[in-house]
């Protein structure tokens, strides 16, 4: 069975995976037609030979492949799992762990040969499969909740989806049994202990780096993302999102998702609350998105936020040429908020300005200015407003 | 500034990624200890590659790649020169033999049917054997096992097809490897099948032959189950089994020792040795193995002798063949050979 993808989505472009794949293919084609002198040189100094080792062989052997099919098989597995592991870990940690598990796989393979199959100590091994098994181990730890898309065979193009923990555990078991076979003297042309070693190194590394916390979080995010947008059966997603928000209450995306799902059928206090939190948090991180969320919120609840946030939002709406909406939200703010603080002063003045300049409703602007003078008789802007009223009345 | 640098270093040292790197270094150390190979291992491996590339050059299968094989052989020779520097001169057979004997191995090389043949095997036992009939002969023998480099004929025919005996310059070589894998394989299958009665051994001709030769040991181990521990049972089966076949091997060796200085071709010498062994100390297993093995013979005399051997005593009625019949048949073929006394 050939893995062809997963049900996860990436956020970043997999530069490191592509670079490593490219390096492998370039090296393969560079030495494809090499003469016997070069072949001997590579075999002697760059393949990993446990019984007669050079330290650099632990790395160089990872970039050498026996034939086209060997490289193609490794490339498919690397692409399917590598891109998501890179996405989760970031390129620096990803590359570090790729080489770390690759070297560990070669060392474990050597040690197993040294303990159980000493007569094979001088048989060289090559290929990136140890490091790729390491990446698969990391994938199992971090993305155990995902599903792997499998092609039954090249000749039978039927795709099935299997939970990652089942298929990866089966692959690991197959490699382990293959390793036992080699100990029992059954010859295989595969370094099974390198696969087992790499996979175990990947899992062990994740454990040591406490990746289970992130894995749990990513699982909840995944469940929330995949189920909250469904029209039915989104209860699991709500639970996941609420659990996530308990540990990370400042996650605007999750608040927004939860707000949408809780406001889907009818307006609710919970939905409104999540919208408000999401918009407030987004205002700091991504004002444009905050404005979009606010439009959704307004359409559903016809309500405004506290003056401090609402003023920013109304300004954003105005800048984005939503003049009417900006004016309506300020109007709603003025009507709903009886307090007479500086924010409210600003709300009056800004609303009047929109009426006067963008909507060309001088009557309404005059009305707002009058109200302003009435409400804030001691404002420092009073003189300025009076001058404006005087100028408009003489015009 | 310095404080900031110290803090940065501290952060690096206490980082879990650094710990992982240190763990990898520890693994490197452990793996290096486990995979450590002695100069003898390295020399043996290089010698093996050197000898086998030599065999490869003689095989028609690789005739297309003769230039590559030659180049590889040359490189292995270079490496062998580097590895043996200060220990012995590889080109001098005596020096090489002395080095390997000091390490418990026998090294030999000779010309065999226009091919250069090599042998490197562990010396299990050394001894002197004296026999007065049919001819008086006294010879040194070596019981060899764990062949690291097999002779050309065995290399061509594949594993498990080695001779029972051969003649070296100074001693006769008796190969434990020619019987041990067989004993091991049959032990495994009989142990697993838990044979409860003698008829359980009649399943295949070879296990039946083994049972007839090693009746007491088989009954002790497989039927009466005197050994609860598999490992000790296996060891006993192999050691005792080999002891049963040793007299035949020594008789073969005695003939080899007598014929050593004759001008007979090596495969003809081997035929004479086998016939002598089976006539003086007959056994069912070696008889069956020699009857069923595809022997590659070059000399017409040997071919004629083996043909006679294969035609006499029908294997389809194996249970009716007795040791006396094997002995008589072997003796009569031996007597019919042109050079027989």
pLDDT, tens digit, for every residue of B159-209?
Answer: 666 788 888 888 899 998 888 888 888 888 777 776 666 666 677 788 888
Q: Which pLDDT score, from 0 to 100, does residue B200 have? A: 66
Indicate if A192 and A225 belong to the same structural domain. no
Question: How far A387 CA sits from the closest chain B CA (Å)?
Answer: 58
Please tell me the distance from the alpha carbon of residue B148 to that of residue B158, in angstroms, as a whole number: 14
How far is Cα A57 from Cα A62, in angstroms, rounded to an integer? 8
- Among A303, A327, A347, the domain-final residue is A303
Output the CA angle B2-B7-B12, nearest 5 degrees: 125
Would residue A310 count as lying in a domain?
Answer: no
pLDDT of B224 > 90? The answer is no
Contact A121 B41 (CB under 8 A): yes
In a domain, residue A311? The reply is no
pLDDT over threshold 60, residue B325: yes
pLDDT at residue A395, rounded to an integer = 64
Quick one: which of B145, B142, B152, B125 has its CA closest to B52?
A: B152
Same domain, residue pair A349 and A263: no
- Pairwise CA distance, residues B222 & B197, whole Å: 9
For residue B140, give the nearest of B101, B169, B120 by alpha carbon: B169
Task: Report the alpha-carbon distance of residue A132 to residue A191 in Å, rounded.
Answer: 13
Reported as type and span, the H/E element at residue B320 is: none
- Assess whether A195 and A218 both reside in one domain: no
- Do A148 and A276 lie in one domain? The reply is no
Q: In whole angstroms, what is the distance from residue B244 CA to residue B246 CA?
A: 6
Verify that A235 and A348 share a domain, yes or no.
no
Residues B188, B43 share a domain: no
* Residue range of the domain that includes B205: 182-336
A197: CATH = 1.20.1540.10
Q: Which tokens belong to B61?
A: 């299968």
Q: In this structure, is residue A372 part of a structural domain?
A: yes
Distance between CA B110 and CA B131 in Å, rounded? 27
Q: Residue A226 belongs to a domain with what CATH number?
A: 1.25.40.10
pLDDT at residue B110, rounded to an integer: 85
pLDDT for residue B295: 65
Mean pLDDT of B76-103: 90
Could you give the CA distance from residue A200 to residue A192 in angstroms, rounded to a whole number?
12
Q: Do residue B35 and residue A110 have CB atoms under 8 angstroms apart?
A: yes
With the CA atoms of A27, A32, A37 and A39 taken in that order, what torsion angle do they form, in degrees rounded to the nearest 10? Answer: 70
Contact of B20 with chain A, judged by CB distance below 8 Å, is answered with: yes
Say whether both B191 and B330 belong to one domain. yes
Q: How far is residue A288 from each of residues A12, A285, B111, measured CA to CA in Å?
A: 21, 9, 89
Q: Where is the domain boundary, A162, A178, A209?
A: A209
Q: Helix axis angle, A91-116 relative to A129-142, nearest 10°?
A: 120
- Mean pLDDT, rounded, for B34-39: 94
User: Does residue A321 come out as left (phi exceeding 0), alpha (psi in the -120 to 50 range) or beta?
Assistant: left
Q: Write down the pLDDT at residue A293.
A: 95
Asked if residue B249 is part of any domain, the answer here is yes
What is the rounded average pLDDT for all residues in chain B?
A: 84
Q: Pick from A104, A109, A198, A213 the residue to mutate for testing the B interface (most B CBs within 10 Å).
A: A104
A89 lies in which domain range?
2-209
Answer whether B4 touches A (CB < 8 Å).
no
Domain finish residue from B71, B89, B107: B89
CB neighbour list of residue B117: distance below 8 Å, 6 or more residues apart: B109, B110, B111, B151, B152, B153
Per-residue pLDDT of chain A (395 residues; tens, 9 = 90+): 889 999 999 999 999 999 999 999 999 999 988 888 888 899 989 999 999 999 999 999 999 999 999 999 999 999 999 999 999 999 999 999 999 999 999 999 999 999 999 989 999 999 999 999 999 999 999 999 999 999 987 777 788 999 999 999 999 999 999 999 999 888 778 999 999 999 999 999 999 999 999 999 999 989 988 888 887 778 889 999 999 999 889 999 999 999 999 998 888 999 999 999 999 999 999 999 999 999 999 999 999 999 999 999 999 999 999 999 999 999 999 998 888 888 999 999 999 999 988 888 888 999 999 999 988 888 888 888 888 888 777 76
User: CA of B106 to nearest chain A CA: how many angstroms apart?
Assistant: 18
Same-domain pairing of A265 and A374: no
Cis geometry, peptide bond prior to residue B134 (ω within 30 degrees of 0): yes
Confidence at residue B296, expressed as pLDDT on a 0 to 100 scale? 66
Indicate if B78 and B206 belong to the same structural domain: no
Query: SS3 string of A273-322?
Result: HHHHHHHHHHHHHCHHHHHHHHHHHHHHHCCCCCHHHHHHHHHHHHHCCC
Is residue B192 domain-shared with residue B304, that is, in the same domain?
yes
DSSP state of A209: T
Q: What are phi and psi of A64, to 5 degrees?
A: -115, 140
Residue A43 near residue A122, CB atoms below 8 Å? no
First to last CA, chain B: 101
B217 with B329, same domain: the answer is yes
Dihedral (Cα; B307, B310, B313, B318), 10-degree rounding:
180
Where does residue B146 fall: left (phi above 0), alpha (psi -120 to 50 degrees), or beta otherwise? left
Distance CA A315, CA B205 (A): 98
The predicted structure's pLDDT at residue B340:
55
* B40 near A CB under 8 A: no
b/e code B243-266 from CB counts within 10 Å (16+ = b): ebbbebbbbbbbbbbbbeeeebbb
Would you state the structure tokens that stand for residue B247, as one six-digit string?
């007299």
Distance of alpha carbon A286 from alpha carbon A252, whole angstroms:
10
Residues B80 and B194 in one domain: no
Q: Which of A111, A187, A191 to mutate to test the interface with B (most CBs of B within 10 A)?
A: A111
Percent of chain B's residues with pLDDT above 90: 26
**If pLDDT is split at 50, 70 and 90, which confidence band does B339 have?**
low
Tokens coding B139: 């010879």
Q: Tell me how many domains chain B contains.
A: 2
Domain annotation covers residue B9: no
Mean pLDDT computed over B283-292: 86
Q: How many CB pairs under 8 A join A and B?
A: 66
Q: For residue A137, what are its two tokens?
A: 């181990």
B 70-129 residues with CB < 8 A to A: 71-72, 75
More confident residue, B12 or A26: A26
Q: Which of A19, B43, A34, B22 is nearest to A46 (CA)?
A: A34
Q: How far apart are CA A267 and CA A272, in angstroms?
A: 7
CA A19 to centroid of chain Cα atoms: 20
Residue reference for tokens 């770390």: A100
Do A192 and A71 have their domain in common? yes
Residues A37, A39, A45, A49: is their CA dihedral positive or negative? negative
Instruction: Please count the structural domains in chain A.
Output: 3
* E strand residue ranges, B113-161: 115-131, 137-149
Q: Are residues A87 and A15 in the same domain?
A: yes
Query: How many whole angstroms separate alpha carbon A309 and alpha carbon A282?
Result: 11
Give CA–CA dist A327/A334, Å, rounded.
11
Q: Which of A56, A78, A7, A6 is nearest to A223 (CA)?
A: A7
Distance (Å) from the alpha carbon of B137 to chain A's nearest alpha carbon: 39
> Do the Cβ atoms of A111 and B45 come within 8 Å?
no
Say yes or no: B209 and B324 in one domain: yes
**Residue A263 domain-assigned (yes or no):** yes
CA B64 to chain centre: 30
pLDDT score for A15: 96
| ipTM score above 0.90 | no
Task: Kindly list the distances between the CA atom of residue B337 and the CA atoms of A68, A243, B300, B309, in Å, as whole numbers in the listed order.
Answer: 58, 94, 12, 12
Where is average pLDDT lowest: A381-385, B2-6, B88-92, B197-201? B197-201
Q: Which of B16, B27, B42 sits opposite A104 (nearest CB)?
A: B27
Judgement on whether residues B207 and B324 belong to the same structural domain of the protein: yes
**Whole-prediction pTM:** 0.80
Of B20, B36, B72, the CB nearest to A100: B20
User: Does A94 reside within a domain?
Assistant: yes
A113 vs B35: CB contact, 8 Å cut-off? yes
Residue B31 and residue A103: Cβ atoms within 8 Å? Answer: no
Q: Judge whether A308 lies within some domain.
A: no
Is A196 in the same domain as A223? no
A6: left (phi over 0), alpha (psi -120 to 50) or beta: beta
Q: Which of A174, A209, A244 is the last residue of a domain?
A: A209
Calpha distance A305→A274 (Å, rounded): 12
| Distance separating the N- and C-terminal Cα atoms of chain A | 82
> Which residues in chain B touch residue A111, judged by CB atoms under 8 angstroms apart?
27, 30-31, 34-35
Which residue from A159, A160, A162 is spatially nearest to A144, judged by alpha carbons? Answer: A162
Residue B125 lies in a domain: no
A225 plus A205 within the same structural domain: no
Q: Which B residues 47-66 touch A at CB under 8 Å?
A: none
Q: Residue A382 has what pLDDT?
A: 87
Please indicate, yes or no, whether residues A70 and A112 belong to a single structural domain of this protein: yes
Question: Do residues B212 and B201 lie in contact, with contact meaning Cβ atoms separated by under 8 Å?
Answer: no
Q: Give the SS3 label for residue B109.
A: strand
Is A205 a domain residue?
Answer: yes
Q: What pLDDT was estimated at residue B134?
A: 73
User: CB–CB of A313/A305 below 8 Å?
Assistant: yes
| Shortest alpha-carbon distance between residue A75 and chain B (Å) | 25
Chain A nearest CA to B37, separation (Å): 6
Q: Are B31 and A114 in contact (CB under 8 A)?
A: yes
Same domain, B187 and B332: yes
The answer to whether A107 contacts B68, with C-beta atoms less than 8 Å apart, is no
H/E run at residue A366: helix A362-375
A14 part of a folded domain: yes
Using the CB atoms, write b or e for A111-145: b if 16+ within 10 Å.
bbbbeeeeebbbebbbbbbbbbbbbbbbbbbbbbb
Shared domain check, A217 and A331: no
Among B72, B89, B106, which residue terminates a domain? B89
């Amino acid at each position: 069975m050939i893995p062809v993808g997963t049900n996860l989505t990436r956020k970043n472009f997999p530069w490191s995976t592509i670079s490593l794949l490219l390096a492998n293919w370039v090296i393969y084609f560079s030495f494809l037609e090499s003469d016997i002198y070069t072949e001997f040189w590579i075999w002697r100094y760059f393949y990993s030979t446990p019984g007669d080792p050079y330290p650099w062989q632990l790395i160089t052997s990872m970039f050498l492949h026996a034939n086209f099919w060997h490289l193609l098989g490794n490339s498919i597995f690397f692409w399917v799992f590598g891109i998501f592991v890179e996405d989760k870990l970031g390129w620096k940690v990803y590359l570090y762990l790729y080489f770390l598990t690759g070297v560990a796989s070669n060392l474990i393979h050597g040690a197993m040969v040294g303990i159980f199959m000493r007569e094979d100590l001088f048989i060289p091994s090559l290929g990136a499969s140890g490091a790729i098994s390491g990446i698969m181990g990391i994938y199992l730890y971090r993305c155990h909740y995902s599903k792997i898309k499998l092609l039954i065979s090249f000749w039978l193009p039927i795709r099935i989806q299997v939970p990652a923990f089942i298929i990866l555990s089966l692959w690991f078991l197959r490699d382990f049994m293959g390793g036992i076979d080699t100990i029992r003297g059954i010859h295989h042309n595969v370094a099974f202990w390198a696969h087992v070693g790499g996979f175990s190194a990947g899992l062990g590394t994740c454990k040591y780096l406490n990746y289970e916390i992130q894995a749990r979080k990513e699982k909840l995010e995944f469940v929330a993302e995949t189920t909250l947008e469904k029209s039915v059966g989104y209860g699991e997603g709500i639970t996941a999102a609420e659990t996530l928000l308990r540990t990370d209450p400042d996650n605007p995306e999750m608040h927004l998702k939860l707000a949408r799902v809780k406001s889907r059928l009818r307006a609710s206090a919970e939905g409104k609350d999540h919208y408000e939190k999401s918009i407030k948090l987004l205002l700091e991180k991504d004002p444009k998105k905050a404005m979009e969320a606010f439009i959704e919120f307004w359409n559903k609840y016809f309500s405004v936020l506290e003056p401090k946030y609402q003023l920013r939002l109304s300004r954003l709406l105005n800048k984005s040429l939503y003049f009417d909406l900006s004016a309506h939200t300020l109007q709603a703010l003025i009507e709903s908020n009886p307090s007479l603080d500086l924010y409210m002063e600003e709300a009056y003045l800004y609303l009047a300005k929109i009426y006067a300049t963008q909507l060309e409703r001088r009557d309404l602007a005059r009305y707002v200015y009058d109200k302003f003078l009435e409400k804030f008789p001691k404002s420092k802007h009073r003189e300025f407003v009076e001058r404006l009223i005087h100028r408009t009345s003489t015009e | 500034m310095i404080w900031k640098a110290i803090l940065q270093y501290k952060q690096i040292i206490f980082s879990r990624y650094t710990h992982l790197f240190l763990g990898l270094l520890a693994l490197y150390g452990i793996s290096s200890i486990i995979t450590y190979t002695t100069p003898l291992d390295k020399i043996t491996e290089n010698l093996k590659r050197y000898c086998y590339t030599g065999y490869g050059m003689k095989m028609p299968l690789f005739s297309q790649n003769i230039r590559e094989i030659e180049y590889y052989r040359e490189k292995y020779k270079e490496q062998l020169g580097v590895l043996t520097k200060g220990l012995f001169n590889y080109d001098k057979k005596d020096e090489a033999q002395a080095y390997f004997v000091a390490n418990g191995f026998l090294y030999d090389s000779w010309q065999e049917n226009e091919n250069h043949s090599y042998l490197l095997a562990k010396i299990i036992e050394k001894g002197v054997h004296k026999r007065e009939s049919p001819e008086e002969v006294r010879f040194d023998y070596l019981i060899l096992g764990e062949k690291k480099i097999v002779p050309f004929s065995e290399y061509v025919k594949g594993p498990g097809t080695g001779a029972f005996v051969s003649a070296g310059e100074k001693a006769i070589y008796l190969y434990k490897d020619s019987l041990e894998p067989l004993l091991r394989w049959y032990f495994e299958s009989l142990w697993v099948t838990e044979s409860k009665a003698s008829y359980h051994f009649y399943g295949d001709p070879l296990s039946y032959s083994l049972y007839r030769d090693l009746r007491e040991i088989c009954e002790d181990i497989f039927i009466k189950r005197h050994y609860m521990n598999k490992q000790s049972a296996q060891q006993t089966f192999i050691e005792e089994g080999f002891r049963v076949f040793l007299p035949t091997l020594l008789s073969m060796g005695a003939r080899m020792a007598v014929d050593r200085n004759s001008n007979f071709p090596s495969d003809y010498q081997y035929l004479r040795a086998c016939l002598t062994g089976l006539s003086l100390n007959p056994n069912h297993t070696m008889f069956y193995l020699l009857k069923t093995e595809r022997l590659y013979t070059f000399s017409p005399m040997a071919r004629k002798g083996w043909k006679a051997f294969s035609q006499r005593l029908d294997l389809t009625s194996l249970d009716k063949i007795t040791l006396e019949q094997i002995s008589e048949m072997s003796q009569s073929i031996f007597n019919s050979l042109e050079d027989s006394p």
